[in-house]
């Protein structure tokens, strides 16, 4: 991986460059003025796809006081976001040393255009692959305007949730390409817990059922679809547990707090670009506690 730091005079771009090699920063072997940063990706999945491959090229971070820092991967990384459901994640940065202090934003650099398959979606129905266009992805990246802190001599570890159900559309003018306009959620891994749930087998196993669980921030939220004014924070596919025969779901990387959970058989009808009339089966309140798993059972 190449580690670049921009300065008003020059661009350092050889190997993994120490901060002192590119002006203005200072570091020491004992980590007195630095910390480490880890960034991973996970996914809230979308229906009707067997793979969603996204090419990641690097990450930029902006200190509150200082020049932008850019990590450029030695080779682009294609990651199947659909393989990263529940508590699964894939690291993009792993313990990289950076200046300690406050940061204003993080930007993920990706490549995806209308005509090639650096990033693509593979349809579950027929196995065909279609370009996944990420507008301005390579030029401006996917920016998370959310501040964070890297502690002195310590570590900061975050996960970016790519909510594909909110993000993938196929307007007619895009040709063969699908469009990825990610709804990104940045979570601090020391502040999260997990939600699991079970839904009625007979209902979920019905021929016309496309089951998914939706999660909303706050208690007693009236559930609505992705294109509505009350769209869910995140979602999860519901699938049969081969060991038990039950239909279950897992939602990882939820910040501690109160949530409303619901499920629907009509997830395949939920177009993120429109306010659809989706029927929800039942809802429950749940509280997420750090490093613990909360469970809901729909009767």
Give the whole-angstrom CA distance, residue 254 versus residue 295: 13
- Whether residue 248 contacts residue 196, with contact meaning beta carbons closer than 8 Å, is answered with yes
pLDDT for res 29: 40
- Residue 91's Cα: distance from chain center in Å? 12
**The three-state (H, E, C) secondary structure of the chain, written as one string:** CEEEEECCCCECCCCECCHHHHCCCCCCCCCCCEEEEEEEEEEECCCCEEEEEEEEEEEEEEECCCCCEEEEEEEEEEEEHHHCCCCCCEEEEEEEEEECEEEEEEEEEEECCCCCCCCEEEECCCCCEEEEECCCHHHHCEEECCCEEECCCCEEEEEEEEEHHHHEECCHHHCCCEEECCCEEEEEHHHEEEEEEEECHHHHCCCCCECEEEEEECCCCCCCCCCCCCCCCEEEECEECCCCCCEEEEEEEEECEEEEEEEECEHHHCCCCCCCCCCEEEEEEEEECCCCEEEEECC
pLDDT above 90: percentage of residues in the chain? 66
Among residues 40, 51, 70, 93, the alpha carbon closest in space to that of 253 is found at: 40
Q: Given phi > 0 = left and psi -120 to 50 = alpha, else beta, which region is 218?
A: left
Contact in structure between 77 and 118 (CB atoms under 8 Å): no
Give φ, ψ of 106 to 5 degrees: -135, 145
Confidence class of residue 30 from pLDDT cuts 50, 70 and 90?
A: very low
For tokens 């990651």, the residue is 79
Q: What is the pLDDT of residue 140?
A: 75
Q: Hey, which of 30-39, 92-101, 112-121 has the most confident mean pLDDT?
A: 92-101
**pLDDT-based confidence at residue 53 (cuts at 50, 70, 90):** very high
Q: Give the fold, CATH level 3, of 193-297.
A: Immunoglobulin-like (2.60.40)
Q: Whole-angstrom Cα distance, residue 204 to residue 181?
A: 30
Residue 277, pLDDT > 50, answer: yes
Residue 28 has pLDDT above 60, yes or no: no
Residue 24's pLDDT band, with cuts at 50, 70 and 90, is very low
Q: How much is the average pLDDT of 104-128?
A: 92
Give Cα separations from 76 to 35, 141, 159 (angstroms): 26, 14, 19
Q: Is the pLDDT of residue 268 over 60?
A: yes
Q: What percent of the chain has pLDDT over 70?
A: 86
pLDDT for res 222: 96
Q: How confident is the model at residue 182 (pLDDT cuts 50, 70, 90)?
A: confident
Which residues touch 208 (CB under 8 Å, ≥6 apart)?
A: 265
- Can you give the pLDDT at residue 93? 97
- Look at residue 258 in the predicted model and tell me its pLDDT: 98
Q: How many CA atoms lie within 13 A of 72 on its CB side?
A: 13
pLDDT at residue number 173: 58
Question: In the structure encoding, which two tokens stand for residue 277, read together?
Answer: 């009339």
User: Does residue 253 come out as left (phi exceeding 0), alpha (psi in the -120 to 50 range) or beta?
Assistant: left
Tell me the average pLDDT across 176-183. Answer: 83
| Per-domain residue ranges of the chain | 2-21+35-182, 193-297
> What pLDDT was estimated at residue 138?
59
**Predicted confidence band at 174 (pLDDT cuts at 50, 70, 90)?**
low
User: Given this model, what pLDDT does residue 1 score?
Assistant: 56
Cβ of 211: how many Cβ atoms within 10 Å? 25
């Amino acid at each position: 991986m190449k580690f670049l730091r921009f300065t008003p005079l020059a661009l350092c771009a050889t190997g993994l460059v120490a901060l002192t090699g590119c002006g203005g920063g200072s570091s020491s072997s004992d980590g007195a003025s630095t910390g480490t940063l880890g960034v991973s990706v996970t996914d809230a999945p979308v229906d009707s796809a067997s793979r969603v491959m996204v090419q990641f090229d690097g990450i930029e971070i902006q200190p509150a006081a200082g020049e932008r820092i850019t990590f450029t991967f030695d080779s682009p990384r294609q990651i199947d976001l659909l393989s990263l459901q529940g508590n699964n994640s894939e690291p993009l940065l792993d313990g990289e040393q950076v200046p300690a202090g406050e940061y204003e934003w993080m930007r993920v650099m990706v490549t995806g255009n209308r005509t090639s398959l650096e990033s693509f979606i593979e349809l579950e129905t027929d196995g065909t692959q279609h370009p996944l266009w990420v507008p301005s992805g390579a030029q401006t990246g996917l920016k998370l305007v959310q501040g964070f802190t890297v502690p002195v001599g310590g570590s900061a570890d975050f996960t970016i949730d790519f909510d594909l159900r909110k993000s993938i559309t196929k307007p007619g003018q895009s040709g063969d390409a699908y469009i990825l306009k990610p709804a990104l959620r940045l979570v601090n891994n020391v502040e999260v817990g997990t939600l699991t749930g079970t839904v009625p087998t007979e209902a979920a196993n019905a021929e016309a059922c496309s089951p998914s669980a939706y999660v909303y921030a706050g208690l007693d939220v009236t559930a609505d679809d992705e294109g509505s004014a009350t769209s869910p924070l995140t979602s999860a596919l519901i699938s049969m547990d081969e060991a038990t025969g039950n239909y279950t779901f897992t939602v990882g990387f939820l910040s501690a707090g109160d949530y409303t959970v619901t499920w629907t058989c009509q997830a395949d009808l939920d177009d993120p670009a429109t306010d659809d009339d989706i029927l929800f089966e039942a809802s429950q309140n749940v509280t997420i506690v750090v490093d613990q798993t909360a469970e809901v059972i729909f009767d």
